[in-house]
Structure 1
């Protein structure tokens, strides 16, 4: 065989019959997932912020573009483990989605709405660099879990130039086609909203810390400021929302998602709620084939046609 720079098409297939060898058929459309780690998307007040990017790929179509889910990893608004969810998120990536896991400024260094501002700037970065990661910039979604679910919801509510928006990329849109809320900590109004947080609403509680280390038992206006449903009105333009929550969530009461769902429905918004029976705060139940297919179908109904998708 000649040694040269072969193209895939011209390279000869090995056809010799080998005794006891088993030949397995491949199509070239099998989806793999590559990982781009610690991609810097912003620097705010000397703090570098990064993305973990999961990229689907196939042999037959290496230049294919995909919708993107910008995913905010939850952490009770404290420092995140942005690597921990990558293996589970890979299940969605393998269905044909670029996943960009967002690192935000945590409550130890920045109060709300810094986390929302960071996520929106991550969306803008993704839109600018769509070509680098085979992303269809017209089909970007935002999602998140727990505190990240709250941040994702606010990403869809905030408008360009709002008080909660602080763009690092002027002229670049942070709009998304839909929102994926996994057991989001979307309300600070309820007294039992965080069933296992004994110091709930006090300055050293997770929610108190992210609201400026404030005593939320005495600051109703701050509780409302960080509660998604307080912003929902008939006039509000918000992308379609899909919500997943476990019925035995000991960390974020499922009533938070139910209340948000009812408010969105009452205001005529496009929203779906899935209650996972017996599920706690996260876990493998949220990444089954059934749940991932629900997400896949949700996104496909909202995406403009993407070639080959």
Structure 2
């Protein structure tokens, strides 16, 4: 049976969720979680994380990885090789986060889970030999959207909460987003064939963007929260991406620069939606960005 365009779109999203640079895969295949399936919340069984701790005599920085999959698929089990290499070298720990899919609950469940995960890591940083001030976040596609959202959203810490995790800051020190959507307003002017954009905020596939609630479209968009005090953000995007148009990365880059925040946009000529798996030419830039903004602090 011939795949239609929608099926191909879903396939690309799934591939991005598991894509690994082949140059590093063999070197890092033995890097396994130190702690697996740690619950960071109690609303749903999916709210778990795997913790890959670097062997170090002093507290390490940590990158929090958020997988892709259209907010309805994918798995925390598929940690990119460029992140595992940090763990293997003993210089940086990695936390891979699972979150509620849209089949369970729509926005803002996904972003709330990821913000909570950052707070949870910070609460347990001492036990895990992690420096709570040196947390970064990264992901691709849906994970790229959630990455940018976490990086740009205001701190959700509640100092008066009886929950010690909720009292922790949700802010991060840097972010790397691969092919992530940033602005739902673009659905009004650019064709977005993938149904997940609408499903994320509770609308059936094919719903005209002009009929969707403006406040929901704004709240799901990371660009809404751009401000001068945001951490350094790197976006990696292919100019041939037909799942998440390059305009998303360009719009956020322009907005971050306009408010005086640090923004880096890496455009991959001819790159499609699978830029996260494009090899060391792409992930090498991300590695250097993380070194500069976490390891060299």
Is the TM-score greater than 0.5? yes
The alignment status of 1:125 with 2:127, answered yes or no, reads no
**Structure 1, residues 117-149: CA drift from partner, whole Å, max 9, x if none?**
111111111112223433222100112211111
Distance 1:34 1:63 in 2: 19
1:295 shift after superposition: 2.6
Query: What is aligned with 2:293?
Result: 302
1:37 shift after superposition: 5.5
The alignment status of 1:207 with 2:200, answered yes or no, reads no
3-state SS of the aligned residue for 1:35? coil
Distance 2:44 2:193 in 1: 35
**Structure 1, residues 75-109: CA drift from partner, whole Å, max 9, x if none?**
11113322234445323434532111111111111
Query: What is aligned with 1:255?
Result: 247
1:170 to 155, 163, 166: 166
The alignment status of 1:230 with 2:230, answered yes or no, reads no
Paired residues of 1:42 and 1:48 also in contact (CA < 8 A): no
2:269 to 269, 277, 298: 277
Paired residues of 2:123 and 2:164 also in contact (CA < 8 A): no
Query: What is aligned with 2:142?
Result: 147
1:285 shift after superposition: 4.6
Q: Sort the Cα spacing of 1:269 and 1:46 in 2 relative to 1 into closer, same or farther, 3 A.
A: closer
Length-normalised TM-score, structure 2: 0.76
Q: Sort the Cα spacing of 1:211 and 1:268 in 2 relative to 1 into closer, same or farther, 3 A.
A: same
Query: What is aligned with 2:33?
Result: 35
Paired residues of 1:88 and 1:287 also in contact (CA < 8 A): no
Higher helix share: 2
How well do the aligned residues superpose, as a CA RMSD in angstroms?
A: 2.9
Query: What is aligned with 1:98?
Result: 93
Distance 2:198 2:134 in 1: 35
1:193 shift after superposition: 5.1
Number of equivalenced pairs: 260
Distance 2:278 2:270 in 1: 12
Long gaps (5+) in structure 2:
1-29
Paired residues of 2:61 and 2:295 also in contact (CA < 8 A): no
1:44 shift after superposition: 3.4
Deviates more, 1:297-306 or 1:105-114: 297-306
**Structure 1, residues 32-73: CA drift from partner, whole Å, max 9, x if none?**
84423533232333434111222333xxxx434321011111
Q: Sort the Cα spacing of 1:241 and 1:286 in 2 relative to 1 into closer, same or farther, 3 A.
A: farther
Q: Which runs of 4+ in 1 moved over 3 A?
A: 85-89, 91-95, 160-163, 191-196, 214-217, 283-287, 290-293, 303-306
Deviates more, 1:186-195 or 1:139-148: 186-195
